[in-house]
Amino acid sequence: MRHLRIALAVAVLAGSFSLLGLAAPGCAYACSCIPPQPIAAYANEPDTLILSGTVTAMGNDLRGIFRVERWYKGSSDVAEIPVQGGNGADCGLGLAVGQQLVMVAYVTEGVLHPSICSPSGDLSTPEGQQLQAETIAAYGEGTAPGGTETPDGDPPGGIPGIVLAGGALVVAVIAIVAGASFISGRRAS
């Protein structure tokens, strides 16, 4: 009987700790970054895009579409880019449909990632308009998607252009291999 009481006490104690574990919140992660630098400081940062445009769609997963109106650093023929928003705690920038922005962003796997750690401004605010004026002062008027030159004289392309060119190359290689396989299969028959 004594062993039964000890086993019951251990089971109750283990169950209590299990319930406490479920009730306690998990780890919380927060964004940690230095404040954004002045917009001109991003001129020599590799893989950095500076652009302005409008958020045209957003899903519940915080992914959406950003329609580029001007490229200030980096360039592409692409006018609409997938964009990943955020909630601040993940360092992502909160985005809303119809929001017009000027921003510094990075592209990962073909998706634009603006961050609260980089300069950005809503153009409906005086702060956003000031950031756009600073951007134009540092980089010139920029180019529209499909423009012939970026402000620094480089041909259009940039990260989104490289991603598209890489995708086209992969499709071409697959088509060549498939065609060669088809032809060699017909000869063997």
The residues that bridge with 106 in the sheet, in sequence order, are 113
> Hunting for tokens 């409906």 — which residue is that?
124
Question: Please, what sign has the CA dihedral across residues 134, 129, 126, 103?
Answer: negative
Name the percent of the chain in helix, strand, coil, to the closest 5: 40, 25, 40
What are the boundaries of each domain within the chain? 45-163
As a whole number of angstroms, the distance between CA 47 and CA 74 comes to 8
C-beta atoms surrounding 150 within 10 Å: 21
Residue 160 has pLDDT above 60, yes or no: no
Q: Taking residues 154-176, what's their average pLDDT?
A: 58
Q: What is the pLDDT of residue 146?
A: 82
Torsion angle (degrees, nearest 10) of CA 172, 177, 180, 181: -140
Element (H, E) at 52: strand 49-58
CB atoms inside a 10 Å sphere around CB 95: 22
Write down the mean pLDDT value for the chain. 79
Q: Identify the DSSP state of 153.
A: S
Q: What is the pLDDT of residues 36-49, one digit of tens each?
A: 899 999 999 888 99
Q: Tokens 């605010």 identify what position?
A: 125
Which numeric CATH code is attached to 45-163? 2.40.50.120
CB within 8 A of 89, min separation 6: which ones?
Answer: 29, 30, 31
The DSSP code for 144 is -
pLDDT for 34: 86
Q: Which of 7-21, 64-78, 133-147, 165-179 has the lowest mean pLDDT?
A: 7-21
Whole-prediction pTM: 0.62
Q: What is the pLDDT of residues 71-117, one digit of tens each?
A: 999 888 889 999 999 988 889 999 999 999 999 999 999 999 999 99
Rg (CA), the chain: 26
